[in-house]
Amino acid sequence: MVFATVFAPFHKKAFIITRGRSALAALLTTISVLIVVIAPLAFLSVQIFQEATQLYLSLLNNGGATDFSRGVGDTMQSLTKFSPVPIEFSVDVNQYLKLGLSWLLQHLGPLFANVAKAMVGVFIFLVALYYLFKDGHKLKEVVVALSPLQDIHDETIFNKLALAINSVLKGSLAVGLVQGILTAVGFAIFGVPNAALWGSVAAIAALIPGIGTALVLLPAILYLYFSGETFFSAGLLLWGVTAVGLVDNFLGPKLVERGTQLHPFLILLSILGGIGFFGPLGFLLGPLVLSLLFALLEIYFAIKKEHEGR
Q: 210 vs 21, which has greater pLDDT? A: 21
Q: What average pLDDT is seen over the chain?
A: 75
Question: Residue 272's pLDDT is what?
Answer: 80
**Least confidently predicted of 52-66, 67-81, 286-300:** 67-81
Q: Is the pLDDT of residue 31 over 90?
A: yes
Confidence of residue 85 (pLDDT cuts 50, 70, 90): very low
Give a three-class secondary structure readout of the chain: CHHHHHCHHHHHHHHHHCCCCHHHHHHHHHHHHHHHHHHHHHHHHHHHHHHHHHHHHHHHHCCCCCHHHHHHHHHHHHHHHHCCCCCCCCCCHHHHHHHHHHHHHHHHHHHHHCHHHHHHHHHHHHHHHHHHHHHHHHHHHHHHHHCCCCHHHHHHHHHHHHHHHHHHHHHHHHHHHHHHHHHHHHHHHCCCCCHHHHHHHHHHHCCCCCCCCHHHHHHHHHHHHHCCCHHHHHHHHHHHHHHHCCHHHHHHHHHCCCCCCCCHHHHHHHHHHHHHHHHHHHHHHHHHHHHHHHHHHHHHHHHHHHHHCC
Confidence of residue 28 (pLDDT cuts 50, 70, 90): very high
